[in-house]
Structures are given as C-alpha cells and as structure tokens.
Amino acid sequence: MKERVIGIDWIRAIACLSVVWVHSITRVTSMYEMSTTSLQIAKLVQLTFIFATPMFVMISIYILSYSYKDSAPKGFWKKRILYILIPYFTISVLYSLYYNLITGFSFEYFAGMLRQYILLSGWSGYFILIIFQFYILHFLFNRYQHKVNPYFISAIAIVINILYNYYVSFLPPPNEALELLWHQYGRLLFPGWIAFFVVAYYAGRYTKQWKNFLSKAGPGLIVMTIFLLLYSYYNEYVGNLMVVSSRRNDILLYTIFLFLSFLYITASFKTVPVLVKLISKYSFAIYLLHFMFIDIFARFQPFELSAIAFAVLAFFFAVISCIVFAWIVKWIPKSSLLIGLIPRKKSSRDT
C-alpha cells in the first residue's frame, strides 16, 4: 500500500476554505456599497486566494498520478462516474430547486436554471468536467510519458496554457457561431488547464525525485510565489488585468509555484490535525454546496452586519453548514450520488 501524503490533506483543506472565502467576498461586493479603496482591497484579497479551483484540480491529478502509474484499475471509471460525475448533475438539480423555492416555483425558471448549471456549467462544480478530461489524459500520459523529457513537456504545457488563456480571454472568436464555445465552454477545455495537469502529474509520479528537488529549491519557490502574488497585485493596481479570475496568466504561475511551495512546507509535517482532516474529508461537499449556504446566510441573516463581519460570518456559516449537511445526508442510502463518497465509521460504501 502506498504511503499517505500528509501534505495533500493540508493543501486540500486550504484550497477548499479558499474557494469559500473568495465567494464570501464576492457576495459582499455585490451586496454592499463600498468605497473605491475598499473594493480594491477586496479584490486583492480575492486574488490572494483565487488559486482555489486550479489547486483543487492539481490535488486531484497529484493523487491520481501518485496512485495509478499504469492503466486504470478495475472499477476506476465506475466509481468516478458514480461519486464525482453524477453529483455534478444532482447538485445542479438541488441548486435549481433551491432558487425556485425562494423565488416562487416556475417550471420555465427551473428549466432555465438547469440549463445554466448543467449545460452551461455556470457554477463552481465546472471543475468536475475538467478533472474528467484529465482522467483520460492521465492514462495517455502513463502510456507515453517515458518517451518524452518531463522538462520539455512542462515547458510546452505552460506555453500552451498561457497562449490559450490569452487567446480566449482577449481575442474575439474567429466566427460568431463559436461565441458560446469561446466565452462559456472555453474555460472547460483542457488546454486552459494543461500546465496545472502536467506539473501535478510529474510531482505525483516522481514523488521521491520531487522531494529532493523541493528540499533544495523550497525557499526559492516561496520567494517566487510571493513575487508572483505581488505581480498580480501590480497588474490589478495599474489596470493591466481587471478581472479576478484563476484563468489569468499571472495567477496561473502563482498557483503552480504556490502548490510546489505547499508541498515543500508540508513535507516536514508528521501529523494532520483533526480539524484539517475534517475539512479535507468533506472538501468535495463543501466545494459543491458552499455557494448555496452563503446565499442562505445572505437572505436570512438575523441582523445588520458590516461588510467585514458579513464576509467572516458567511464564510464560517457556509463551511460548518456544508459539513453538517453532508454528515447528515451521508447516512442516507445512495447519498454518495449527491455529495460524493464520504467515509462512514461503519462502512464507506452505500448499501
């Protein structure tokens, strides 16, 4: 049996909490009248934590590469379709029902929400569709990776990713018929995430070699991470890049170096605290459900709150509510089709 990589629990928990924090701030900026300075500070905080989704993708690929170095084992695809892909659809239905209930039920509105969530991937669960592309790519890499130089492939992947992001973000589609593909589905296609995949793939496959590399290069990686974060601040400040998005090329490089820095920092950790384990265990459910609980908090908050108080309390409310909701639901048979596979004390499988 493979040795458990303790650092992954830490990184998963950090990425999970970061996405909730970013969306809590997003809700604040849409609800509160804010000064230009306050809005700028909110954007900078979001930029700091916007690595969440690509980091989640990198964690998934790292674990995949670390665990499966050849072909897919028996049951691999069945498990991932049942417990990862199916929740993409069931949680989409849940969100559509929720928004229908609070706005007054309408079949047309419900159908429109389903289209927005399922067909247009207009919610944070879109990362599931990206990961499934990388499942396929992973096993192709396993077959041919020994024939190519990892450094060359990594460099090519980063260049492709940067060019793709620029092309899709700043240039119009070559044809009007491609408008939907360009602006809506462009973020879902694997070339826009290929650098994250390649770095995580090699880090997971060659764990020992990377450990040696990180032990020497770790401090430099941390310095580079800080520099890239400050560079993203600069781009925001001077107006080079005004959109807070993980698809920005400065954030792409920041996320990669941050991921490697996290691997370096956590390599010396011997244990995982109970709270980190808990968040890591429920991370999939938190990632999929948190936006709904932020919305519930915003609609039904019992008293007036300042912008900062709202962001902090919405964050804690969403995280705790997701964990409680998932813990209750996981005891229902076949609930894994809704919230993913969460281990139970008695059994980790549905009955």
Residue 112 located in a structural domain: yes
How many residues are there in the chain?
351
Residue 129 located in a structural domain: yes
Q: Which residues contact 161 (CB under 8 A, 6 or more apart)?
A: 191, 192, 193, 194, 195, 196, 249, 252
pLDDT of residue 137: 93
Mean per-residue pLDDT for 327-336? 92
Highest mean pLDDT among 119-123, 220-224, 248-252, 302-306: 220-224
Contact by Cβ (8 Å): 336, 281: no
Residue 349 located in a structural domain: no
Mean per-residue pLDDT for 8-27? 95
Instruction: Say what the pTM is.
Output: 0.92
Mean per-residue pLDDT for 256-265? 96
pLDDT of residue 176: 74
Lowest-pLDDT choice from 4-8, 217-221, 263-267, 308-312? 4-8
Residue 350 located in a structural domain: no
Alpha-carbon span 275 to 253, nearest angstrom: 29
Residue 24 located in a structural domain: yes
Contact by Cβ (8 Å): 301, 316: no
Residue 1 located in a structural domain: no
Segments forming the whole domain that contains residue 208: 6-339
- Residue 283 pLDDT more than 90? yes
The per-type count for the chain, helices as H runs and strands as E runs, is 16, 0
In our burial notation (b when 16+ CB lie closer than 10 A, e otherwise), range 19-56 reads bbbbbbbbbbbeebeeeeeeeeebbeebbbbbbbbbbb
Provide, rounded to the nearest whole percent, the portion of the chain with pLDDT above 70: 96
Alpha-carbon span 105 to 108, nearest angstrom: 9
pLDDT of residue 349: 41
Alpha-carbon span 340 to 225, nearest angstrom: 33
pLDDT of residue 350: 40
Lowest-pLDDT choice from 142-146, 276-280, 293-297, 311-315? 142-146
pLDDT of residue 345: 63
Residue 276 located in a structural domain: yes
- Residue 337 pLDDT more than 50? yes
Alpha-carbon span 157 to 200, nearest angstrom: 12
- What's the total number of domains in the chain? 1
pLDDT of residue 183: 75
Residue 345 located in a structural domain: no
Confidence of residue 105 (pLDDT cuts 50, 70, 90): confident
- Residue 19 pLDDT more than 70? yes
Compute the half-sphere exposure of residue 307: CA atoms within 13 Å on the CB side of its CA. Answer: 15
